[in-house]
Amino acid sequence: MTTATTNLPSVKTTLVEVTDKLSNPPCRIFFKNEYLQPSGSFKLRGIGYMLQKKIEEAKKLGKSKVIVFSSSGGNAGLAAAYAAKYYNVECTVVLPKTSTDIVIEKLKKLGANVIVHGDHWGEADKYLTEVVMKSINEDELPVYCHPFEHELIWKGHSKIIDEIIEEGQLPNLNNVKGIVCSAGGGGLYNGIVEGLKNQKQDIPVLVIETEQAPTFHETVKQDKSITLSSIKTLASSLGSPYLSPKAFENYKNHPTKLGLIDDLDALKGSIDLYDKFGIITEPACGASVSTIFDKQELLIENFKNLQKDDIIIIIVCGGSSANEETLEFYRKLIKDSK
């Protein structure tokens, strides 16, 4: 069950204990079900919140029109399109030629203007910001929806923690020993840390990446902002070449652990989630949920001395690029790798 959030396109999502459905978990496990967001992922929280604030800003500035712009061929683009439709404003999304027909059709159904340009996201984004967005009029306010890099986006994501703590969704907050999330550019992680800070909680966060897109790991290892020279990951929503500087700052100031898994582990996580719970998500989400299936050692290693009454919360972040057909494709990839 979900509940609409006041004047926001995102909804309040459930927190559900799944311990009894798992094989010998080290403690109690809860799912925060962000896959239930109308756009299919947690991205709607941050982008929806940002758009709400930008519409308020436009009114104060006397702008006649708000136009939403995105270059994401994934969950951020879908969230931007959904939020724009919710607020009845125009949305334009520029996608690279590699984008899937599934995403393009979903964007069009949401009423977005879709432009296909460039061989990869970087070229699509450059065309969006340097060409498409330059054509707006002075009385119009453009809203550029970056997938993860904006303080209003982090603020929107932080409501995940507010719900967990303020809505009485937990049996005992003192028993919560950690929160697990996936990370690409770090937007979700930033929101979680901001939410914990607002609630005056120092609960550790375990961030899961794949070895094929180790952006967070490399940033920490080199102790500076870096850009990966190439990214070849099947968990495409985690394939950011760089980490949000705010995420690196949060890592230094909030108890944070990093976990690294293989792409195939992320795929297996998505398959296990579907087989056990009937939930369809993409491998970016499979990365975090893998910690309750084949990669339980990550929980045991990073949250020391877990007891049966302790609680770990998994952010089931969602993802709209998967369906039953793609899950079968993942099964074949895993089978062929053995």
Each residue of 184-200: pLDDT tens digit?
899 999 999 999 999 99
Q: Which residues touch 332 (CB under 8 Å, ≥6 apart)?
A: none
Q: What span, in angstroms and rounded, lies between the C-alpha atoms of 96 and 116?
A: 6
> Which of 4, 9, 7, 6 lies closest to 68 in space, CA to CA?
9
The pLDDT confidence band at residue 125, using thresholds 50, 70 and 90, is confident
- Please give the pLDDT value at position 132: 93
* Unique residue bearing structure tokens 């907050």: 173
Which amino acid is present at 82?
A: Y
Q: What span, in angstroms and rounded, lies between the C-alpha atoms of 33 and 146?
A: 23
Which tokens hold the place of 123?
């070229």
- Please give the pLDDT value at position 48: 97
More confident position, 235 or 337? 337
Residue 79 pLDDT greater than 90, yes or no? yes
Asked whether this chain's domains 3-42+151-337 and 44-144 adopt the same fold, the reply is yes
Rg of the chain on CA atoms, in Å: 19
Q: Where are the domains of the chain?
A: 3-42+151-337, 44-144
- Mean pLDDT over 156-176 rounds to 92
- Mean pLDDT over 103-129 rounds to 89
* Unique residue bearing structure tokens 């724009």: 84
Residue 144 pLDDT greater than 80, yes or no? yes
**In Å, how far from its chain's centre is CA 91?**
20
Rounded mean pLDDT of the chain? 92
CATH T-level fold of 3-42+151-337: Rossmann fold (3.40.50)
CATH T-level fold of 44-144: Rossmann fold (3.40.50)
